[in-house]
Amino acid sequence: MEAISNAGSCVGILAKDGVVLAAEKRITSKLLDSQAVGVRREKMYRLDDHIACAVAGITADANILVNSCRLAAQRYLFTYQEPMPVDQLVRQLCDTKQGYTQYGGLRPFGVSLLYAGWDKERGFQLYQSDPSGNYGGWKATAIGANHQAATNVLQGDFKDDLSLEEAIKLVVKVLSKTMDSTTLSPDKVELATLSRDEDAGQVVYRVYEPSELKPVLEAVNEEMTKEKEKEKK
């Protein structure tokens, strides 16, 4: 749990037309090869065509769980010729996590996850799970460092009918109030969205590149600056 509390914040918001995941990147050294395996994406993972996740905690533990999820999803697809329901994949992974709490000589996985997904039964969904295997569905939630502060902001600003664009602005605003930095920059934030292309009938998973992320962050930074100026007056 300590590893999770010290990890960069992750925030998820369920919008009416998609799901947004955002996370604080802690590995920002200029010496890192940004294209190397394990560095390009520190927080976001795609589990299947219709499911993605964000992680907070020990990255090596997260890799094991992510690979387990991917294998389970492909086995289900091969067996039943249809994508695995989101809640079923989450439940199966949490059963594995819970099993590691029952036996001596094993330690729980030191990672919490946020899952974003879509299926034909329940539409867009957002789940959260902890190292003990507990999980639940959420409209908006946060894990990692300062998760309580993030939750407080979400409770005040979240609305049920948020669009995907509004959810993106809110999730960035939440991160800006929980991160140690005074201003947000593309090298410190990861942002991903899960939406649906109704014409093609496909789920679209998009991870924002730094060049795409920059104008979004600048707009939120400007808005936050104006709010602070109003408070001073």
Q: What is the percent of the chain with per-residue pLDDT over 70, rounded to a whole number?
A: 94
CA-to-CA distance for 164 and 171, rounded, in angstroms?
A: 10
Give me the mean pLDDT over the 210-229 stretch.
Answer: 85
Tell me, what's the pLDDT at 138?
A: 98
The predicted model gives 184-194 an average pLDDT of 91
Confidence category of residue 94, pLDDT binned at 50, 70, 90:
very high
The whole-number average pLDDT for the span 17-41 is 76
**pLDDT in the model for residue 38:** 53
Q: Is 226 exposed, middle or buried (0-12, 13-18, 19+ CB in 10 A)?
A: exposed
Q: Given pLDDT bands bounded at 50, 70 and 90, which one contains residue 95? A: very high
Kindly state the percentage of the chain with pLDDT values over 90.
70
Least confident of 148-157, 162-171, 177-186: 177-186
Give the DSSP H or E segment for 86. Answer: helix 86-99
Burial of 87 (0-12, 13-18, 19+ CB in 10 A): middle
Q: Please check the confidence at residue 14 and state whether its pLDDT lies above 80.
A: yes
Q: Mean pLDDT for the chain?
A: 91
**CA angle, residues 174, 205, 175, in degrees to nearest 5:** 10
The tens digit of pLDDT for each residue in 34-86 reads 666 555 567 999 999 999 999 999 999 999 999 999 999 999 999 999 999 99
Cβ burial, residue 190 (10 Å; 0-12/13-18/19+): buried
Instruction: Transcribe 190-231 into DSSP letters.
Output: EEEEEEEETTTTEEEEEE--HHHHHHHHHHHHHHHHHHHHHH
> Which domains are assigned to the chain?
2-232 (3.60.20.10)
